[in-house]
Amino acid sequence: MKIKEIRELSAAELKHREAELTDQLFKLRFQKSLGQLDSPMKIKNIKRDIARIKTLLNESPKATE
């Protein structure tokens, strides 16, 4: 997910997207532990997306409302 796409979302949508990505990260880690993970790069990309969303939520004052 690109930063331009993330900046267009509202605060509620960002929080919802963060929750979805966190759930998806949990599932991927579980697959990794079972040896069923196809691409380890998925975990890295999801972590980066979560970090981007958290950064955007912290920097914008409208996001805390």
* Interval 8-37: pLDDT, tens: 988 899 999 999 999 999 999 999 999 999
Return the number of other C-beta atoms located less than 10 Å from residue 25's C-beta: 16
* Percent of the chain residues past pLDDT 70, beyond the cut: 91
Pinpoint the alpha helices (H) of the chain.
3-7, 11-34, 41-59
Q: Which among 27, 45, 49 has a CA at the least distance from the CA of 36?
A: 27
Domains of the chain: residue spans and CATH? 3-64 (1.10.287.310)
pTM of the model: 0.83
